[in-house]
Amino acid sequence: MAVIVHAKLKKQMIQSVCVKSLGNKKVVNVIVDYMLKSNDERIVINDYIENDPLSENNLDKTLYLVNEIRLSSPQKSIWLYTGYKVISVDSEYGSIIFDRDNEDIIKQFTYKSVINHNKRINIASMCDVIVDGRYVDSQRNISLSYRGSQNQRLIDVKQSLQKGGIVLWQT
C-alpha cells in the first residue's frame, strides 16, 4: 500500500511541476521521461497542462508535449480532454476540425486564428482519443467511462481520420 501511495504522490508532484514549468524544455524532457517510464498505457495530456490544452494560451505547450511523447514512445495512448467540440473530420488532409461555442469562424478569420487552428489540427492528429465538449454539471453521469457528462464524446482519432467522419472510441 505504501508503494502505491508513494507512486501517486510522486505523479502528483511531477504533474504540479509540469503545469508550472512547461516553458522550460529541460523540465519538460524530465517529465516526458517520467511519463514514458511509467506503467500507464494511457497518458492524459490534461494531467500536465493547466486548463484546456487547446486554449490559445496552451497550444504551444500542448503541441510540444504531445510531439515529445509521440516521438519518444509511439506505443503510448495519448488522450486529450477539451471543451472544444469536434465538428468535422477531413481524411484527405488528415484534419480534425474544432469549434468552441459555435464561433463564427469567418468573422474571426485572422492570421493568428489560422496558426492556432493548424496547431489544434497537429495536436489532434497525434492523439489517440479526444474527449470533446465541456463538462456540463446538469448532464453529469458517473456511470460513463472516461467522461463526466452526457454531452462529451470519446472520439477515436485514428479511426475517424481513416473513415473521414467522427468515430466514437469503444471501451
Cell of 170: 469503444
Q: CB–CB of 49/58 below 8 Å?
A: yes
Q: What is the pLDDT of residues 14-37, one digit of tens each?
A: 555 555 555 666 767 777 777 777
Q: What is the pLDDT of residue 113?
A: 81
Q: What own/partner pairs with CB < 8 Å and gap ≥ 24 does 89-94 have?
A: 89/160, 89/161, 89/163, 89/164, 89/165, 89/166, 90/164, 91/161, 91/162, 91/163, 91/164, 92/164, 94/121, 94/125, 94/161
Residues in the chain: 171
Mean of the pLDDT values across residues 72-96?
89
| pTM score, whole prediction | 0.81
Q: What is the pLDDT of residues 133-164, one digit of tens each?
A: 999 999 999 999 999 999 999 999 999 999 99
Q: What is the pLDDT of residues 32-41, one digit of tens each?
A: 777 777 788 8
Q: What is the pLDDT of residue 114?
A: 83
Mean of the pLDDT values across residues 64-78?
91
Identify the band that residue 12 occupies on the pLDDT scale cut at 50, 70 and 90: low
Burial letters 124-145, b for 16+ CB under 10 A, else e: bbbbbbbbbbbeeeeeeeeeee
- For residue 33, give the nearest of 52, 55, 48 by alpha carbon: 48
Sign, CA dihedral 107-52-77-60, equals positive
Q: What is the pLDDT of residue 8?
A: 54
Q: What is the pLDDT of residues 95-131, one digit of tens each?
A: 888 887 655 555 566 788 888 889 999 999 999 999 9
Q: If 0-12 CB within 10 Å is exposed, 13-18 middle and 19+ buried, where does residue 36 land?
A: middle
Cell of 98: 474544432
Does residue 45 carry a pLDDT above 90?
yes
Q: What is the pLDDT of residue 102?
A: 56
Q: What is the pLDDT of residue 101?
A: 64
Rounded to an integer, what distance in angstroms lies between the CA atom of residue 52 and that of residue 134? 10
Cα angle 107, 94, 90; round to 5: 55
